[in-house]
Amino acid sequence: MSRKIILDCDPGHDDAVALLLAQANPSVELLAVTTVAGNQSLPKVTHNALGIAEVAGITAPIAAGAAGPLVRAARFAGEIHGASGLDGVSLPEPSVALDPRHAVDLIVELVMSHEPGEITLVPTGPLTNIALAVRREPRIVDRVREVVLMGGAARTGNRTPVAEFNILFDPEAADVVFSAGWRVTMAGLDVTHQAVATPDVARRVAAIGGRKADFVVELLEAFGRAYRDVQGFDAPPVHDPVAVAVVIAPELFEIVPAPIAVELTGTHTTGMTVVDLRPWVPRDVPTRVVLGLDRGRFWDLVVDAVR
């Protein structure tokens, strides 16, 4: 049976790939797409989500959520994703109407209207909407099957030496999510930096042909330019579809139970996800970290989704 998911995102080049994968793979059923400020402002990422839905054929409701972090000022990722959040990519004008509900309301309604254990939350942006949903209706913690998120790092950050962008954007929200007591699987930079879109990947996608393939090739080229210019990568790490792939095929990943805490007050470490990998620490915890992947089989999933 397919896993029912809500994809909470801030599109974003890599969010676009995550949306394509979630829509096309038969192992997951995309119940809703919710947007949150992160890579760019809420109006921009919501517009991008609606345009991506046109390309991907997404018919699930799309609802806009939080316009900024719980307590901090927003700091968008324009240096990577550009002024639009999807610079360098041609998006069709959306014909899909935005759902009138707030994303948090939609998340709560869907979780509470399904049986416990049916819905998995897949956040690929800052965790503001998920934290607000927990505060709005704490009972969702016992009803959600799992939270599989893209964010954080067990070792090295990207926004700072120790903090990854999504977590640093709203560390207070991340703290709520990681400490809620439900099962959380963190697919952070340790694994997503292994999911690089090499020229061979782009060639495989281009060989498919058609609207979706052309769209993905275009966004990989734009994403690759940004990562070369800003972070010196030879090929761009495509972060967000990794979280979707963990839901689809967990056997492709090295997943380790480990205590995870979010640093909120450190002078140099705010936003750090402190992952305790010491071998003698008890592993009977609800939090897990993804440390490795089968890169070839991961890209097979993505290419098949485009096809």
Place of tokens 């397919």: 2
CB 263 within 8 A of CB 208: no
Neighbours of 38 (CB within 10 A): 33
Phi-psi region of 257 (alpha: psi -120 to 50; beta: other; left: phi over 0): beta
In whole angstroms, what is the distance from residue 209 CA to residue 156 CA? 37
Name the token pair of 295.
């890169």
Q: What is the DSSP code (8-state) at residue 247?
A: H
In whole angstroms, what is the distance from residue 103 CA to residue 273 CA? 25
Would you call 13 a catalytic residue per the annotation?
no
State yes or no: cis peptide before 266, omega within 30 of 0. no
CB 256 within 8 A of CB 289: yes
Spot the catalytic one: 47, 102, 239, 268.
Answer: 239
Active-site residue set: 239
